[in-house]
Amino acid sequence: MGLTLISTHTASSDATLDITSGIDSTYNEYQFYFVNIHGSEDDKQFHFQVNAAGESGFNETITSTAFYAFHEESGTSFGEYTLGYRTNADQAQGTAYQPAIGYNMGYDNDQSASGILTLYDPSSTTYLKHFTSEGSVAVYNNIAANLFTAGYINTTSAIDEISFKFNSGNIDAGTIYMYGVS
Amino acid sequence: MATKAEHLKAIKAKHSSLTKNVNGVSETLSASEYNATIDEWATNRAAKDARNEIIASGGQSADYANLRTDSMIDGSYPSIPDQLDMLFHDITDGKLGKTGSWYKAVKATKDKFTKP
């Protein structure tokens, strides 16, 4: 497996970060590496949506799952550590932005989230589009969380655009690297 | 707890304009994009406030099932290992009725986050 860097995107107090070029039939798999994504507001979700080729708006239908493990820095107010399904980070045929890599993210100066989102065969016109993501998150109340999401974009249309944002507040900083996998 | 209108006012005061980053180029949001964005932010902030109010004080919520089972929420059900440990001790102590620690713990969560 080889990774080819297609583009690099650095956020700087942007409400959204959209990638509208470079996703095509060249690769069967695309990976988005997120490094130190930092929001402007506390306890917020970092999420994504996609747009099908020839259509408008980031509003494709998604069915997804989400679970996480977390471990507190100190104390046992939430049971110290746990593994659990995240009911408010999944969708059942929803068109909202899908949480990925970061949930309940903190916005202290030293807090951020990093991780990987993989989008499979986005140019297929036969199959729906699977995705998986894994992120390491500095949660707002000083918890280390490992968020896993997966699911499919329920369309057989080709996907050629992707958008990232927080559910409230700007993406203050962070870099997204888009790779093609061959 | 701020209302959506109060959040809208605060967001407008803080952000007179917003930008989007498209393929590495930063652009100012159009008026319609700006209004849609701050409306979404205000809606989400108000919803979060309402949820936090329930988490802090308890009460009726259509989201009661999620509140009860989200282990990051104070007052949610104890973890499965902790519940099993409670049951072990309740059995050992002969307290499998309403005086047992497991029953009390689960009831406390059900009492805090109630069905509408």
pLDDT tens digits for B62-93?
999 999 988 888 899 998 889 999 999 999 99
Helix (H, G, I), strand (E, B) or coil at B13: helix
Angstroms from B103 CA to nearest CA on chain A: 18
Which residues sit opposite A30 in a β-bridge?
A119, A180
Going by pLDDT thresholds of 50, 70 and 90, the confidence category of residue A83 is confident
Give the model's pLDDT for residue A113: 98
Please check the confidence at residue A78 and state whether its pLDDT lies above 70: no
As a whole-number percent, the residues of chain A with pLDDT over 70 amount to 97
pLDDT tens digits for A5-22?
999 999 999 999 999 999
Please check the confidence at residue B60 and state whether its pLDDT lies above 70: yes
Nearest to B51 by CA among B41, B38, B64: B64
pLDDT tens digits for B91-101?
999 999 999 99
Which A residues in the span 56-85 are in contact with B, Cβ-Cβ below 8 Å?
Answer: 70, 77-79, 82, 84-85
3-state helix, strand, coil in chain B (%, to 5): 60, 10, 30
Q: Mean pLDDT, to the nearest integer, of A80-104?
A: 90
| Pairing mode, strands B25-28 and B59-60 | unpaired
Structural domain boundaries of chain A?
Answer: 3-181
Handedness of CA A135, A137, A143, A147 (dihedral sign): negative
Give the model's pLDDT for residue A75: 65
Which residues sit opposite A7 in a β-bridge?
A178
Whether B21 sits inside 8 A of A12 (CB atoms) is yes
Which of 3.30.1240, 1.10.1740, 2.60.120, 1.20.120 would CATH assign to domain A3-181? 2.60.120
Spell out which residues of chain B touch residue A21, defining contact as CB-CB under 8 Å: 23
pTM for this structure? 0.92
What is the ipTM metric for this complex? 0.90
Angstroms from A94 CA to nearest CA on chain B: 16
